[in-house]
Chains A and B, each alone.
Chain A
Amino acid sequence: MWNELRSAGVIAALALCAGARAEDARRSGFDDMGPGTQAMQREDSSNPGMLSALEGESLWSAPAGPAQTSCASCHGEASASMKGVAARYPAFDTASQRPLDLAGRISQCRDQRQQAGPLPRESRELVALTTYVGLQSRGQPIAPPEDARLTPFRDAGKALYSQRMGQLNFSCAQCHDENAGGHLGAALIPQAHPTGYPLYRLEWQATGSLQRRLRNCMIGTRAEPFTYGGLEYIELELFLMQRAAGMAIETPAVRP
């Protein structure tokens, strides 16, 4: 009797899993990479993005500002205090009444709490700290906050995603929804899930942010990119994170 029940349960569970898998056609860019690049991401010792995380780790405990505080002075061990944080960004910032991405929050903390001045977008330090904080969520499912104040911004991101732009007149959706899995010249078009950022891009020979990646796509369509830190990028990120909800954070990922 018990055995029967148990096997029935196993079968039901298997059916559920299979159902979930069949429904979820989402693929991380990782799934589309060659085995060599996948191995490079998987092994911390060969993942160049880990250098940025290591630099972030030392910045985490480096004193700065008039009070010579470090991130660690207030936040303690990042492995405890920063766990899961990257999975729920961008988040709404009550002070500025707008959403902030993780890099924006870190820069704000450094400016206003550490009083050591903001960190410029895409600066080595900001990318390093964001990578280190992001690493504390590696493997965790993306979990956008249920905060109604974010909704209009996420909707704006969705609209941007479907808007044609640039001299070539492409929308993000035309490539990443309608033609994902196809080849644009030699490049395989991924589904554009923001699971791995900041990440090491072989083409950059550096670790960079999601905004840098989006900037590349916009330049590719011969559009004028938004300014770094601009609200449009954060709106796009809100939409992309919602679209990728439940997928695992890979920071720092590796991409071609």
Chain B
Amino acid sequence: MRAPAAFLALAFLPGPCQAAELVQYQIENGEIRASLTGQPGNPVRGRAIVAERQKGLCLLCHTGSFPEERFQGDLAPTLAGVGARMSEGQLRLRMVDGTKVNGQTIMPPYYRIDGLARVAPAFRGKTLLNAPEIEDVVAYLRTLRDDDAGQSK
């Protein structure tokens, strides 16, 4: 019993566990309330990150209203309407490290460098997105209020 409790405490302890270069954040009730940059993100840049396959990778798994991206995956729920379903803090936690929401998720942790195995040298110590990019994506996801938006091709 003791070991899992200690593990959980460590996992949720803000600050000390994170590498120095990463912005520190606090998880409360399934949310990261504060912006990682202290500023609101830019939704237009956020959309570009989500739509660009090499950068965001989102559309490898998700669908959404991105007529310019023809090969969208089907491994995850549509992003349409996600801004209505989830709060800003929930979206931020989901982006920073989805495994904190669902330990089994296939969604990569976008802002984490610890606890990863065999990372290729070119990517070692690097997050998938940096803090301003996380904020841009969160700002964009917040604009996705309409459930139908994703269905239209």
Interface size on A, residues (CB 8 A): 23
**B73 near A185: Cβ-Cβ < 8 Å:** yes
**A222 near B71: Cβ-Cβ < 8 Å:** no
Interface size class of B (residues with CB under 8 A): 20 to 34
Chain A to chain B: the 6 pairs with minimum beta-carbon distance, closest first: A186-B71, A167-B123, A168-B108, A223-B118, A185-B60, A165-B118
**A179 near B75: Cβ-Cβ < 8 Å:** yes
A residues less than 8 Å from B57 (CB atoms): 168
Cβ-based interface call for B126 (8 A): yes
A-B contact pairs, 18 of them (CB 8 A): A163-B117, A167-B119, A167-B128, A168-B57, A168-B128, A169-B109, A170-B106, A178-B106, A179-B75, A182-B75, A183-B73, A183-B75, A184-B61, A184-B73, A185-B72, A186-B70, A222-B122, A223-B119
Q: How far is the CB of A168 from chain B (nearest CB, A)?
A: 4
Q: How far is the CB of A157 from chain B (nearest CB, A)?
A: 15
Complex: A75 Cα to B72 Cα, angstroms: 51
Q: Which of B71, B106, B123 has the largest count of A CB atoms less than 10 A from its CB?
A: B106
Complex: A213 Cα to B128 Cα, angstroms: 24
Cβ-based interface call for B59 (8 A): yes
B-contact bits for A193-219, CB 8 A (1 contact / 0 none): 000000000000000000000000011
**A167 near B106: Cβ-Cβ < 8 Å:** no
**B71 near A166: Cβ-Cβ < 8 Å:** no
Complex: A218 Cα to B120 Cα, angstroms: 9
- Which chain A residues in 95-134 approach chain B with CB under 8 Å? none
**B120 near A166: Cβ-Cβ < 8 Å:** yes
A residues less than 8 Å from B73 (CB atoms): 182-185
Cβ-based interface call for B3 (8 A): no
B residues less than 8 Å from A163 (CB atoms): 117
A residues less than 8 Å from B117 (CB atoms): 163-166, 223
A169-B116 contact in complex given A179-B75, A183-B75, C-beta closer than 8 Å: yes
Cβ-based interface call for A155 (8 A): no
Cβ-based interface call for B146 (8 A): no
B residues less than 8 Å from A174 (CB atoms): 106
Complex: A166 Cα to B120 Cα, angstroms: 7
A residues less than 8 Å from B72 (CB atoms): 185
**B53 near A224: Cβ-Cβ < 8 Å:** no
Complex: A179 Cα to B70 Cα, angstroms: 20
- Which chain B residues in 115-144 approach chain A with CB under 8 Å? 116-123, 126, 128
A residues less than 8 Å from B53 (CB atoms): 185
